[in-house]
Each structure stands twice: as C-alpha cells, then as structure tokens.
Structure 1
Amino acid sequence: MLDPLIILIALGCGLVARIAGLPALIGYLAAGFVLHETNIEAGSLLNHLADLGVTLLLFTIGLKLSPRDLLQAKVWGTTLIHMQLMQLFFMGVLWLYDSLVPSMNMSFTEILVIAFGLTFSSTVFVIQVMQEKGEMSSRHANLAIGILVIQDLAAVLFLSATKGMWPEPTALLLPALWLLRAPVLRLLSYAGHGELFTLAGMALALGGAALFEFVGIKGDLGALIIGALLSGSQKGKELSRNLMNLKDLFLVGFFLSIGLGGWPQQEALILAVLLGVLAIVKIPLYFPLMTKLHTGPRTALLAACAMGNFSEFGLVVVAVAAKAGWLDAQWASAISLAIAISFVISAPLNRYAHELYWKYHSFWRKFESDRLRRERPDTSGARIIVLGMGNIGTGAYDTLAETHGAEVLGVDLNEAKLAEHTRRHRRVVPADASDPDFWVQVDLTEVDLVLLALTNHPENVLVADLLRELDYQGRVAAVVRFREEAEELETHGISVFNLYAQAGAGFAEHAAAQLSNNA
C-alpha cells in the first residue's frame, strides 16, 4: 500500500516548487530525497507506478510520432553525432576524475558504460516542461522528441544486449502489427469517449509492452511502437489527450524513485554533483549541430535548452549494467543524483529560453543556414493574420477572406493541414506563431488585425508579449476557454472570445436562424 505520507510529502514539495516558479517535477525529486532521509519505505507499489508512468509516456509519444520526421537528417544526424561526442567527453571527464582521485579505482568498462548512460537527454523532463509551457505542438518540441526517440532506441538496444540474448525469432513477425491498425481504430471507435476509451488505451500500451517483452525486446519500445501505429488518426489524438493526466500522475512515482535511491559514497557524490552541472555542456553542442543541419536558430536553441540534462534511461542503463556485474551498484545512486541536479539546472534555463533567444536575437540569427534564408515564407500584402488553422481558425479565415481575399494570411505548423488548405486555395504559410523570426519579416505597419486561434493560453500570452515588444499598433483578438485566461489577455489589451461561455450564444443564434427559415 502506498503510504499517505508519501503522497503528502510529494504534494507539498511539488507545490513549493511551483510557487518558486519551477516545474513540479523538481519538487517530486526533492520529495524522493526527503523520503530517503526520513527512512520511509515506499514499497514495490511506487516502482510499479513509476514503470507504468514511463510506459504510458512512451505510448503517448508514439501516438504523436511521425516516422517521416525521424528520417530527417536534422533528427537522426544530430542524435548520432551528439551521442558520439558526448560519449568521448564524459569518458574524458570520468578518466580525469579517476586519475585525480585514485580511491575511485574505476575500470575502463565502468567509464565506458557510465559515459554511455550520460549521453541521453530526458524524455520525461522534456515532455513535462513542454506540456507546462503549452508547447507540445511546436517545432522545437517535435524536434526534441524525435531526437529523444532515437536516443531511447539506442538505450533499448543496449538493454537487450545486457540480457545476454538477442530477440526471439518470432520478433521478425512484429512488422505485421501494422495490419492491426484499422481493426484497432475501429475497436476504439466502439469504446466511445469516456472511461472505456481510456481503459482501451491503457490496455494497448501495456499489451504492447508485454508483447515485446515476450519476444525478447524491451517492453517500453513496444509501447512506443504500438502508439506509433495509431499516430495520425483522430482516435490517436483523442487517446493522447485522455491519457495525459493519468500518465503525469504515474510519473510522480518515477521522480520519487530517483530521490529514494539515496546518496552514493563521498567520492562518487562529488563526481555526481560535477556531472550534474556538466549536463549543461550538451546545449552548446546540440545547437550548432542542429543549425548546420538546417534547423532554424530559434527552434535549435529552444530544443537544445530542453535537452540540456540527463535521462531516466541513463539511470536504467547503469542499473542494469550493475546487475550484470559490469560496474559497482553505488553508481545507480550517483547517476540518480546527477540526473536530479541536471533537472534543477535545466528547469529555470527552459523557463527563460524564449527571453534568452529574443534578447540576443541578432547573434542567434547568424547561425541560420542559407537554405533556410531562401525558404522564408512570403507574408507580403497581409493585413489580417490568423494564427492556428484548426477548425476555429479556418472558420474565421473563410469568413474574413470573403471580404478581404488574399489580404488574409493563415499560419500553422502542421504540414498535413497546410497541404489541405493550399489545395482549397487558402493563403497559408508554415510558421511558429511564437517565433520572433517570423514576425520580424512581417510588415506589422500594414497588419490591421491578428487573430489568435491557438486555444493554447501560454502560447497566446507569448505571442501577445512578442507583438507588444515589436511595437505592433493594430488589433489583436484571441480565443480562450476559461475566464481567468480571458482576464489575463484583456490586461494585454486583447479582445477575447470565450469558446465555452459564448458558444451557447452562437448556438442560440443558429437555432433562431433555423426558426426563421421555417417560418
């Protein structure tokens, strides 16, 4: 049974972290160390919840995964080069520390495995931070997740090797799972939209993990691939939304378990602190690799900042290697501490990443590739800009285009949406609404109205602040869902349409029109 005191300590530390302006996960890490110091035994249930959280995390990542994105050079190229260079860097750090502190007495195998574990960045951290900032659909989030998925695949291959066995021959039949996509989607449609639908999602995630374990492959990879089979479908998107809060709740157990690992011996403790601080070295290496491979400088910086930390998979790699007798068991607690420190440093850096880019905008732009400069979208003649071409944005665009024609410009990141809009002869461009690089190429003196149809409050606020800093003098209107969101945007001088509060009035107008037509 999970002790209620554990829940209270996790809640208290999470609230303190949130009040301090840090992600709640930092509080959960601290709670783990507090629990360790108070000698509270969490029991096996917490570990089961942590494993379930990671499984659901990878399943939800799979639901949003696009294989085409992973095949881009800026994704796989950045990943492979970065991991190799980080491997060499951390091997050098560990060797130097071992030379200065002879009592460490580290073997070459220990140095090799620990350095490999430190090459990964945290999928859990990136997802949590992006969700809190409302940036899960952004370019930098998609790029970071693509890189992390390839890193996770490398970790899975390593974990398979440590078992001393290769996958079963039956694993060759796994590609046939693609044939189940249509039947599974049909089954999900029968499940409705409530608790049965959510239960079906959990069954798919856990069933996929169990199937892959059965054929000798790490179960987490199975959850990821089963999710990927459903990606791109409407049911996949709905399932991701339904599982989000459930997955976040179980991940609390994961963060608590890191701190519960306790403290390593003094020599390893000092090294763990040093490694935790050195995680920030990943950022200045990620950034130039991405920009060299034709990633926009803002996307590269924000993605790099998000990945300037160590990964939960690194901890798993070290723990499994310790069980195999390749290194001392204390390294699991040392890496746990290094991960926690890297999170504490990375969290505030991510909080100010947008400000960091905007403050030194001219410097970062120097890294933009010539190809990207040639591919900048054409925004000339735009007097009305609609940000977000979903159902709401498209409806607003079509209504305005009846009067203003080509002076209306739609902006979105989703390539599939943009292709459909282009086919229907709408004027649209691919861009991130919160990207200063997009707005500096727009002649804002010619723009009369900006419509924020993003239904993503943090991004709406970010765009509003950006337009104000650029001294935009036109009008701004936004779609909101909650009263507190409307109040905050109104303080920015933005006209708001409450999607929920005002939908009833719109529905009544529609009904009245129907009555008039029948009269």
Structure 2
Amino acid sequence: MAAGFALREMGYEQNELISTAADLGVTLLLFTVGLKLDIRTLFKREVWGTATAHMGTNMLLFVGTLSAVKWFGISSIGELSTTGIVVLSFALCFSSTVFAVKVLEDKSEMNALYGRVAIGVLIMQDIFAVVFLAATTGKVPTMYAPLLLLLLPLRPVLYRLLNRVGHGELQLVLGFFLTFVLGAQLFDSVGLKSDLGALIIGMLLAGHPAASGMAKALFSFKELFLVAFFLSIGLSSELSFESIYIALFLVGILVIKTAFYLLYLLQFRLRSRTAFLGAVSLANYSEFGLIVTAVAVQLGWLHGDWMATLAMAVSISFLVAAPIHKNADIIYQFIRPSLKRLQRSKLHLEDQPIELGQMQVVILGMGRIGEGAYDMLQQHYPDLVIGIDTDLEKIQHQIESGRAVIQGDATDSDFWEKLAPSKDLKLVLLAMPHHHGNQYALKQLKKGEFNAKIAAIAQFADDVEKLKRLGADEVFNLYNEAGAGFADHVHSQLIDSNKPQE
C-alpha cells in the first residue's frame, strides 16, 4: 500500500494488469477460505454465537459512532450518506483471517481452543462478507443457475482427483483449475459472482485430508496476487492527513470492538485466558473490510478516498495488534484477577481442569512421535502412561486405538496452574511438533514442583542446546535420531538376519 501511495504521487496510475492480479488474489483468498471451512466448527455455540452477536453489536457501535461524528459535521465523515455509514460500519466489523492465521502459526497455537474458536469466528465473518459481495453484484442469475446443484454429486469425483494428483506440482495446477475454471468462471457464466463460486468449490473439498496441503501450495500465489490488491489501493486512492487522522480514530475504537469479543467469549463459558487470547487474535481490521469498501466505492456508496482511510486503519491495526498478541500472556497476568471475576462458574467442556491421577509418564503432543513413544513406554509402565493433546479429532482416534489420551493445551499458562504436581510422576516427554510449545512447557515444568525427568524433541541443533540450557534431562534431534534408527533397523533386518548361525 505504501508503494502504491508513493507511485501515485510520482504520477503512475493503476493499469489493467494490476487490476486483474488483484481480482485473482481475492478469488484465491476465498477459495482457500473454503478449503479451511469445517462446517462442524461453525455449529459450535461459541463460534456462531460470538460471530453473529459481535457483528450485530459492532454494527450498532460503528453506526452510532459515525452518525454522531456526522451530526457534528467533522471531516469527510460528515459527508457520508446513511447507506455509506451502514456499509462502512459493516466493513469495520471484520477481523483479519490472514493476520490471525499468521500469529497463531508463529506461536504453534492453531489447534489450541482459543485458536480454533478465533478461526471459526473469522470464517463466519468471511461468509457474511461473501454474502454481501454476492448480493451487490447487480447480476441476475440465468435459468441455468440451478444446475450448479449438480456440483454436490460431483464431490466424490473431485476427491478422487485430489487423491490422484498427490502433493507435487499437479496439486497446484488442480488448485488453479478448481479456483478459476470450475469455481469462478462456471459461476460467472450463469450470472453469479465468480468469487462465490471459488468459495463454494473450496467448501466442497474442505473435508478431504489433502485440502490443507492444497491451501499451503496456493498460499504463495495468493499472497503475491494480494500484493497487487493492496498496491491497487494505493494507486487508486489519494492519501491525505485527514485520512490518517480518521484511521487513527478508527483504530482507537478497536478497544471497544475487542472488549465485545472478550465479553461474548466469556459468556460462552470459555476461561478468562482463553477468551482474552481469542479476543486479542481478533483485535484488528480486515482485508475483507477493504474488499467490501472497494465494492461500495464502485457502486458509488462511498467516496474513493475511503479506500485510503480503510487501508491505513487496517495497516495501523496490524502494527498495534502484533506486539500485543506476542506479549499476550504477560499482559494477561496483569489483568488476570479482574478477568477471573468475569469468568463463568461452569466452564466449557474443552476448558475443564486436567487431572492426571496415578499416571507415571506424561507425553505432551500425541502426533506420530508421541504415539510411537506411548506404545513403547506402555510396555514398561502398563496402564500408567497418559498422552495430552489439543486436537480433539486426534484424541478421539487415539482413544479408539486403546490409548489413554486427554485434551489439554500445554502452551496455556492456566493449564499448568490447574495441573497439580504428582509424586507418582516419573517422566515427561515433550513431543509437540513446534519448538516454541516444547520450550514453553519445559519452562513451566521447571517453575512448578515437578520432580520427574524431562525429555524433549527438537529439529535443529540450536534448539537442542536451548532446551538443554532450560533444564531438559535429554533432548533428541529428530533428524539425527531418525537417521540412526533407520540405519539400526536396516542393519538388524538385512545384515544381522543374513549372518550364518554359529
């Protein structure tokens, strides 16, 4: 956006190439949103309840605030029509999916309860945005539009295609075909918005195991094309001091917007920390708000200068939210006593205290490594091994396989406060997939009264040294251990077995 504003000042104008690339970016964004759209998540009360209640409350907040400012005739807000105020308020209600996914991935908390709730709320908001975009196209569907229902029985065919293409370049090519041909172009040909088609095709594939892999394969292209979208904002909008002042004013309102998130999440029986981290993840404005604003400008509901204003508001909100989210645990400790008083007495099922009983071995992280460690240690400590993971689907699979696994988030400070030290505990294995999670859990174990031995996994040599300095009794380098285990297995199976018997 900064480059776009600078180029505009130098006399450059937006061209067809940038506009086309910007449209491709938005279409890819909606397709990848569809790929991550787990319908079951949206049916949870804390997701749809928070999303809908927050949207309604914030519409009232922004409509009331902007109307009050208009009444005083302050700046360009005083020139807004009633329709303009409503559409602008709608655009400001959204939080950024791109921002939330990035910060959650960086902290390895995509599968934490607050992360899953935040992503679910964002997907609900994305659906609201897509409905708005579809309703404002001005197109009348053709008589062939009902034939799109035939896409539903086509779903098994699409699944087989995903199975056949694997994880290489064909997966990427198929992703482009599904987005722009089967999705965008097909819907456009029957008078429906092309972006809506991309979203629906993505939703049809969301249940496939390869859907997340396809989203990752398309990520770089989506980001590249979205650069053109943000560049086009700068090229088509004139940045002024007034735009910056209004943007700062809107960022100030984020405090109230975030407080509503917090109150609604607490209302749905989430713990105070879970609700606070979820609210902080959503404390920003959204790229979808820019898309809604762009449509409103095209339809004449808003003046073109509002694109620059919203662009600045989104950018500043990211700059403010990033350090807050990074230090969210530290901030939470300061305000925890006040938030605890707002916490409901009966907590959400997934936010209950954790009890270990008489277990002697705890494995944090029940992926493939944790699962293998569980099966091995079960031989030495029968029925005294327990696994802990954040992913409920994974937990259900482990329970069905006969393993004792419970739900818990080892990156959650309240998890450790609820976890009473056990005199029977002898060994803790840190087998979470990300170094940040293992490092955080190790610090909490050392702070608590846990006398058990601690072993951890790491992918890189410097991570091994960090974990040892923090007090891990043993750290295993995944790649080194995998290589040694592979060689030992091959030697025992292919060499030792062929030696002549004495």
- Is this a same-fold pair by TM over 0.5? yes
TM-superposed deviation, 1:505: 0.8
Q: Which residue of structure 1 lines up, in the alignment, with residue 429 of structure 2?
A: 451
Counterpart position of 1:512: 491
- The alignment status of 1:394 with 2:371, answered yes or no, reads yes
Paired residues of 1:126 and 1:307 also in contact (CA < 8 A): yes
Deviations 1:396-416 (A, max 9, x none): 111112221332111122222
Q: 1:279 aligns with which of 227, 233, 254?
A: 254
In the alignment, structure 1 residue 76 sits paired with structure 2 residue 48: yes
Q: Is 1:411 matched with 2:388?
A: yes
Deviations 1:43-62 (A, max 9, x none): 44444444434433433333
1:186 paired with 2:160, answer yes
C-alpha deviations, 1:43-94, integer Å up to 9, x for none? Answer: 4444444443443343333333321110111111111111111111111221
Matched, 1:66 2:38: yes
Residues 137 and 193 in structure 2, CA contact (< 8 A), matched pair in contact too: no
Q: Equivalent residue for 2:418?
A: 441
Change in CA separation of 1:501 and 1:310 when aligned onto 2, cut-off 3 Å: same
Instruction: Give the aligned CA root-mean-square deviation in angstroms.
Output: 2.7
SS of 1:211's equivalent in the other structure is helix
Question: Which one of the candidate residues 304, 320, 335 is aligned to 2:310?
Answer: 335
Larger Rg: 2
- Describe the shift of the 1:53–1:389 C-alpha distance in structure 2 as closer, same or farther (beyond 3 A): farther
Check if 1:299 corresponds to 2:274: yes
Cα distance in 1 for residues equivalent to 2:441 and 2:126: 33
Structure 1 residue 278: deviation in Å? 1.7
In structure 2, the partner of 1:432 is: 409
Q: CA deviation at 1:394?
A: 0.7
Is this contact kept in 2: 1:280–1:342, CA < 8 A? no
Measured against aligned partners, the alpha-carbon deviations of 1:243-288 in whole angstroms (never above 9, x if no partner) come to: 3444444444444445555444554542222112322322111011
Determine the structure 2 residue equivalent to 1:322: 297
Are the aligned partners of 1:358 and 1:436 in contact in 2 as well (CA < 8 Å)?
no
Aligned residues: 491
Alpha-carbon distance in 2 for matches of 1:458, 1:48: 40
For residue 491 of structure 1, what is the aligned residue in structure 2? Answer: 469
User: In structure 2, how many angstroms separate the alpha carbons of the residues matched to 1:485 and 1:47?
Assistant: 44
Deviations 1:329-381 (A, max 9, x none): 22222211221122221111111113223444444344443332774343222
Gaps of 5+ in 1: 1-28
- The question of whether the paired residues in 1 share the 8 Å contact of 2:237 and 2:304 is answered with no
1:208-252 per-position Cα deviation (integer Å, ceiling 9, x unaligned): 233333344443343333233223433223323433444444444
State the 1:472 CA deviation: 4.3
Q: Distance in 1 between matches of 2:90 and 2:272?
A: 28
Letter in 2 for 1:317: V
Answering whether residue 161 of structure 2 is matched by residue 161 of structure 1, we say no
For 1:272 and 1:410, locate their aligned partners in 2 and report how far apart those are by CA, in whole Å. 48
**C-alpha deviation, 1:510, in angstroms:** 0.8
| Change over 3 Å in CA distance of 1:357–1:33 after alignment to 2 | farther
Q: Is the alpha carbon distance of 1:464 and 1:271 closer, same or farther for their aligned partners in structure 2, counting shifts above 3 Å?
A: same
Tell me the SS of whatever aligns to 1:451: strand
**Equivalent position of 1:26 in the other structure:** none
Q: Identify the residue that residue 284 of structure 2 maps to in structure 1.
A: 309
Match of 1:12 in 2: none
Q: CA deviation at 1:311?
A: 1.4
Contact preservation (8 Å) 1:277, 1:341: no
Which letter maps to 2:214?
Answer: L
Report how far residue 508 of structure 1 moved.
0.8
Contact 1:97–1:271 (8 Å) recurs in 2: no
1:35-434 correspondence runs (5 A): 35-37=7-9, 43-101=15-73, 104-165=78-139, 167-168=141-142, 170-207=144-181, 208-372=183-347, 375-434=352-411
Which moved further from structure 2: 30-39 or 425-434? 30-39
Letter in 2 for 1:122: S
The alignment partner of 2:346 has SS state of: helix
Cα distance change on mapping 1:174 and 1:404 into 2, 3 Å: farther
What does 1:4-19 correspond to in 2, within 5 Å?
A: none
| Partners of 2:283 and 2:343 in 1: CA distance | 21
Q: CA deviation at 1:499?
A: 2.0
Equivalent residue letter for 1:64: K
Q: Is the 8 A contact 2:460 2:477 kept in 1?
A: yes
Q: Is the Cα contact below 8 Å between 2:45 and 2:268 reproduced in 1?
A: yes
TM-score, normalising length from structure 2? 0.88
- Mapped to 1, the partners of 2:295 and 2:205 lie a distance apart of 31
Q: Which residue of 2 aligns with 1:480?
A: 458
Structure 1 distance, partners of 2:338, 2:217, is 41
CA distance, structure 2, for counterparts of residue 383 and residue 363 of structure 1: 36
Higher deviation after alignment, 261-270 or 339-348: 261-270
Contact map agreement 1:263 1:337 (CA 8 A) in 2: no
SS in 2 for 1:198: helix
Instruction: Name stretches of at least 5 consecutive residues in structure 2 with no aligned partner.
Output: none
SS class of match (2:301)? coil
**AA matched with 2:415:** F
Contact 2:142 2:190 in 1 (8 A): yes
Q: CA deviation at 1:121?
A: 1.1
The answer to whether the 8 A contact 1:309-1:346 is kept is yes
State how far apart, in whole Å, the 2-side matches of 1:233 and 1:287 are.
33
Q: Say whether the 8 Å CA contact 2:446–2:471 is kept in structure 1.
A: no
Percent of paired sites with the same residue: 40
Q: Which moved more, 1:94-103 or 1:285-294?
A: 94-103
- Is the Cα contact below 8 Å between 2:13 and 2:236 reproduced in 1? no
476-485 vs 373-382, greater mean Cα deviation: 373-382
Residues 160 and 216, structure 1, Cα contact 8 Å, conserved in 2: no
* Secondary structure, aligned partner of 1:501: helix
C-alpha separation in 2, matches of 1:344 and 1:283: 16
CA contact (8 A) 2:269 2:348 kept: no
Question: Relative to 1, partners in 2 of residues 1:267 and 1:464: Cα closer, same or farther, differing over 3 Å?
Answer: same
CA distance in structure 2 between the partners assigned to 1:193 and 1:268 by the alignment: 45
Quick one: distance in 1 between partners of 2:418 and 2:318?
Answer: 35
Contact 1:263 1:269 in 2 (8 A): no
Q: Does residue 460 of the first structure (1) align with residue 432 of the second (2)?
A: no
1:22 is aligned to: none
- Give the distance between the partners of 2:426 and 2:230, measured in 1 at CA: 48
Q: 1:345 to 1:462 in 2, by over 3 A?
A: same
